[in-house]
């Protein structure tokens, strides 16, 4: 089929799609959403490298669920504002993180078990509070995200968090890499291991919170694990892992934004599905660590 | 991470005593040997259990010491404690007359191979380059001097041809050599190795013990936990025998006696 034939066959359809897309992009709401996708996707992808290297994906999943009751509690106490939600989320993450540590130290339970109990209980309590508060439509947004509903201030918060996270991680990359590779070697070299693990935890929580609006607390784990997990199957270089994770996270989120529009899908779910798709492709076709190359090795 | 300027130490250590001057257990003249490791009356509690008590010995650069004792004797704890990873309850560890933590880049700790995540996305060269980080600090970039040191470390451990390999694609012996190369890149004087010979086949073991002899000849101090009583005298020149507390310390010839071994491994 020649180009002429294609264009003569479906000129209308293409034009409609193009105009509606460009119309849509002319809207500030869509512009903000697109920018948010890029920023949040990149920052989460960047951080995902450290989550993958630390093998803390499940811990992040737990914490992301714990953010919901924190936000609910903040709404109950101080009303719904950006800052109250942020403070509530940080508070909840700390409570579950430190609470599980405390539980495991003061009982015979291990920390994973303690976390499992704490976060589900907190999550359930959060659901009850949010239902009671009668802000049902917002409940959905916290659970599954609503990137099209972002205001300018949301965008600035996301930008601030992303910038702080990426710059801190770049600044700390040397000690962080030794620490993630082998904490004992790091400590023997004088790396302040405990301080570094708290810093990494803090950065992860912040970035997790910034992604809540885009993908919600249930899907946020995907955004914070899938990008680097994909690159992990392609590289032997830790630096490639975090830059690649950032690029895959940003690219995947933007691609999902454009995909979700004509298909009428939810942006947050599309982001996670696209990133999951990237991962599957890498898993099967990675020249080094893919399904097919495994046989050769 | 400590960033310290270079001094003459890295050169003096290693070429000062090929004469075989012996100063086991404080018998030598301490004042003429600046590169001494002196441990006295060390007591370590780990996870609320008394792991080590009454550990005391003094040694210097150019030695290789086998740290021997039954399972649970506290070998790993002692190595970690020497590396500054586990704080001592009492007693002291002095390296060149100063508390050891203050000269951390001079001490290299090499964990057991089983403790390492070999899937970590890093190549042989990348791991060896990590040895330069304490000297570079957190931000300074690699200089040609750093690259030269990395090259030398790779060459010394015969890793040049496989420097771009991911670390899981190495044999056990190559993995151990990569870790030693990291310590060399760090310009460490003291290497603390946790079971370096475990899991290596015979040729790799022989290769590693040859490298050990070269490293001590260059003047490095090697302290390695070791579980094979048969091979220990062939590889190491000194023995530190422990079982929670110190049983004996000395040259292999003096200290490696059936009585001492029985006392460490016998029923308590």
Kindly indicate the confidence band of residue B69, based on its pLDDT and cuts at 50, 70 and 90: very high
State the pLDDT at residue B26: 36
Question: Which chain A positions have a beta carbon within 8 Å of B120's beta carbon?
Answer: 53, 180-181, 238
State the first-to-last Cα distance of chain B, in angstroms, to the nearest integer: 42
B115:A184 CB<8 A: yes
Q: Which residues of B touch A (CB under 8 A)?
A: 1-2, 80, 83-85, 101, 104-105, 107-109, 111, 115-117, 120-123, 126-127, 130, 133-134, 136, 138-139, 166, 186
Identify which of A106, A104, A105 has the alpha carbon closest to the alpha carbon of residue A115.
Answer: A104
Please state the rounded mean pLDDT for residues A156-177.
Answer: 92
- Show Cβ contacts of residue B54 under 8 Å, excluding neighbours closer than 6 positions: B41, B42, B43, B245, B246
Q: What number of other Cβ atoms are within 10 A of residue A179's Cβ? A: 25
Least confident of A258-272, B17-31, B166-180: B17-31
Sheet containing B221-225, strands listed edge to edge, beginning at the edge strand earlier in sequence: B98-99, B90-95, B36-46, B49-60, B245-251, B238-243, B64-68, B221-225, B190-193, B107-110
- In B, which residues are within 8 Å of A240 by CB distance? 121
A190 contacts B105 by C-beta, under 8 angstroms: yes
Distance in Å, alpha carbon of A232 to nearest chain B alpha carbon: 7
pLDDT value for A270: 93
Q: Please count the other Cβ atoms lying within 10 Å of the Cβ belonging to residue B203.
A: 9
Q: Could you count the other beta carbons within 10 Å of the beta carbon of residue A86?
A: 20
pLDDT tens-digit readout, B147-198: 999 999 999 999 999 999 999 999 999 999 999 999 999 999 999 999 999 9
- Helix ranges, A80-172 (H): 82-106, 111-132, 136-144, 152-171
Residues A280-286, mean pLDDT to the nearest whole number: 93
Confidence of residue B54 (pLDDT cuts 50, 70, 90): very high
Question: Is B2 in Cβ contact with A188 (below 8 Å)?
Answer: no
Given pLDDT bands bounded at 50, 70 and 90, which one contains residue B76? Answer: very high
Residue B251 has pLDDT above 70, yes or no: yes
**What residues of A are in contact with residue B130 (Cβ under 8 Å)?**
177-178, 181, 185
Tell me: the pLDDT tens digits for A47-93? 999 999 999 888 888 888 888 888 888 888 887 776 787 788 888 88
- Cβ-count burial of A15 within 10 angstroms (0-12 exposed, 13-18 middle, 19+ buried)? exposed
- Give the number of residues written for chain A: 297
In the prediction, which pLDDT does B193 show?
95
Mean pLDDT of B65-83: 93
CB of B117 closer than 8 Å to CB of A52: no
Question: What sign results for the dihedral spanned by CA atoms B29, B34, B35, B39?
Answer: positive
Flag if B109 and A190 touch (Cβ within 8 Å): no
What is the rounded average pLDDT for all residues in chain B? 84
This complex has an ipTM of 0.82
Indicate the Cα dihedral angle A268, A271, A274, A279, nearest 10°: -110
Identify which has the larger pLDDT, A291 or A232: A232
Which residues in B lie closer than 8 A to residue A241 (C-beta atoms)?
121
Distance between B107 CA and the closest CA of chain A, angstroms: 8
pTM (two decimals): 0.83
Q: What is the pLDDT of residue B224?
A: 96
User: Which one, of B145, B146, B211, lies nearest residue B177 by Cα?
Assistant: B211
Hunting for tokens 């008590």 — which residue is that?
B53
Nearest CA among B47, B133, B44, B79 for reference residue A190: B133
pLDDT at A215 over 70: yes
Q: Inter-chain contact B123–A236, Cβ cutoff 8 Å?
A: yes
What SS3 class is residue A295? helix
What's the pLDDT score for residue B242? 93
Q: Taking CA B145 as the corner, what is the angle to CA B140 and CA B149, rounded to the nearest 5 degrees?
A: 105
Q: Which helix (H) or strand (E) holds B241?
A: strand B238-243
Q: With contact defined as beta carbons under 8 Å apart, do B231 and B197 qualify?
A: yes
Contact B185, B150 (CB under 8 A): yes
Distance, in angstroms, between B231 CA and closest chain A CA?
27
Q: Which of B214, B223, B224, B118 is nearest to B171 (CA)?
A: B118
Q: Give yes or no for residue B13 having a pLDDT over 70.
A: no
Which CB contacts under 8 angstroms, 24+ apart, belong to B231-238?
B231/B197, B231/B205, B232/B66, B232/B68, B232/B256, B234/B209, B235/B64, B235/B66, B235/B197, B235/B209, B236/B64, B236/B65, B236/B66, B236/B212, B237/B63, B237/B64, B237/B65, B238/B24, B238/B59, B238/B63, B238/B64, B238/B65, B238/B66
| Mean pLDDT score, B51-80 | 93
Instruction: Give the closest residue to A221 by CA, choosing from A254, A268, A187.
Output: A268
Other C-beta atoms within 10 Å of A79: how many?
A: 9
Give pLDDT, residue A205: 85
- Is A180 close to B139, i.e. CB distance below 8 A? no
B85, B138, B186 member nearest A187 (Cβ): B85
Region of poorest pLDDT, from A262-266, B2-6, B185-189: B2-6
Are B121 and A189 an interchain contact pair (Cβ–Cβ within 8 Å)?
no
DSSP secondary structure letters along B2-67: ------THHHHHHHS-TT----GGG-S-GGG--SEEEEEEEEEEETTEEEEEEEEEEEETT-EEEE
Predicted pLDDT of residue B97: 85
Whole-number CA gyration radius for chain A: 21
**CA triple A105-A106-A110, angle to 5 deg:** 50
Average pLDDT score over residue span A169-185? 93
DSSP state of B166: B
Distance from C-alpha of B32 to C-alpha of B50, rounded to nearest angstrom: 35
d(CA B213, CA B220): 10
Q: What is the pLDDT of residue B177?
A: 95
CB contact under 8 A, B85 and A190: no
CA distance A52 to A223: 12
Higher pLDDT, B71 or A80: B71
Render A187-226 in DSSP notation, one character per residue: HHTT--HHHHHHHHHHHHHHHHHHHHHHHHHHHHHHHTTH
The secondary structure element, H or E, covering residue A239 is helix A238-263
Closest chain A residue to the Cα of B168, Cα to Cα: A236
Tell me how far apart the alpha carbons of residues B20 and A54 are, in angstroms, rounded to a whole number.
46
Instruction: Look at residue B12 and tell me whether its pLDDT is greater than 60.
Output: no
CA gap A14, B259 in Å, rounded: 91
């Amino acid at each position: 089929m020649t180009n002429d034939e294609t264009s003569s066959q479906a000129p209308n359809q293409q034009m409609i799609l193009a105009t509606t897309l460009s119309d849509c992009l002319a809207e500030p709401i869509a512009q903000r959403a697109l920018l948010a996708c890029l920023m949040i996707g990149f920052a989460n992808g960047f951080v995902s490298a450290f989550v993958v290297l630390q093998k803390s994906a499940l811990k992040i999943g737990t914490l992301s669920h714990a953010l919901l009751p924190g936000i609910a509690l903040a709404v109950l106490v101080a009303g719904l504002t950006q800052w109250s939600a942020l403070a509530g989320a940080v508070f909840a993450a700390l409570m579950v993180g430190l609470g599980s540590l405390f539980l495991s130290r003061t009982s015979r339970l291990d920390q994973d078990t303690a976390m499992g109990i704490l976060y589900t209980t907190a999550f359930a309590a959060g659901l009850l509070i949010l239902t009671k508060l009668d802000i049902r439509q917002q409940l959905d947004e916290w659970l599954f995200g609503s990137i099209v509903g972002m205001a300018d201030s949301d965008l600035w918060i996301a930008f601030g968090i992303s910038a702080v996270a990426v710059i801190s991680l770049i600044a700390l990359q040397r000690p962080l890499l030794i620490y993630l590779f082998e904490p004992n070697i790091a400590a023997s070299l004088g790396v302040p291991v405990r301080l570094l693990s708290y810093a990494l935890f803090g950065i992860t929580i912040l970035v997790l919170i910034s992604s809540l609006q885009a993908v919600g607390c249930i899907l946020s784990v995907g955004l914070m694990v899938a990008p680097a997990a994909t690159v992990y199957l392609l590289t032997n270089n830790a630096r490639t892992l975090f830059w690649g994770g950032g690029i895959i996270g940003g690219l995947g989120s933007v691609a999902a934004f454009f995909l979700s529009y004509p298909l009428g899908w939810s942006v947050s779910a599309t982001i996670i599905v696209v990133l999951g798709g990237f991962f599957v492709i890498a898993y099967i076709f990675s020249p080094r660590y893919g399904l097919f190359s495994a046989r050769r090795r | 991470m400590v960033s310290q300027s270079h001094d003459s130490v890295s050169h003096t250590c290693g070429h000062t005593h090929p004469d075989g001057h012996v100063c086991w257990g404080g018998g030598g003249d301490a004042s003429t040997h600046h590169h001494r490791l002196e441990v006295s009356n060390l007591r370590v509690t780990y996870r609320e259990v008394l792991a080590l008590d009454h550990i005391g010995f003094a040694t210097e650069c150019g030695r290789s010491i086998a740290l021997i004792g039954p399972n649970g004797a506290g070998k790993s704890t002692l190595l970690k404690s020497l590396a500054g990873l586990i704080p001592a309850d009492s007693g002291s560890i002095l390296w060149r007359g100063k508390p050891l933590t203050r000269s951390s880049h001079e001490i290299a700790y090499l964990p057991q191979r089983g403790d390492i995540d070999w899937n970590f996305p890093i190549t042989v060269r990348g791991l060896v380059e990590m040895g330069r980080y304490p000297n570079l600090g957190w931000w300074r970039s690699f200089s040609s001097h750093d690259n030269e040191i990395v090259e030398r470390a790779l060459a010394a451990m015969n890793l040049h041809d496989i420097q771009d390999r991911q670390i899981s694609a190495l044999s056990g012996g190559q993995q151990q050599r990569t870790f030693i190369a990291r310590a060399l890149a760090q310009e460490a004087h003291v290497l603390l190795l946790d079971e370096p010979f475990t899991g290596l086949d015979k040729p790799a073991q022989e290769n590693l013990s040859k490298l050990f002899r070269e490293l001590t000849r260059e003047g490095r101090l090697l302290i390695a936990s070791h579980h094979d009583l048969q091979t220990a005298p062939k590889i190491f020149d000194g023995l530190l025998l422990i079982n929670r507390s110190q049983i004996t310390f000395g040259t292999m010839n003096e200290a490696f006696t059936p009585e001492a071994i029985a006392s460490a491994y016998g029923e308590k």
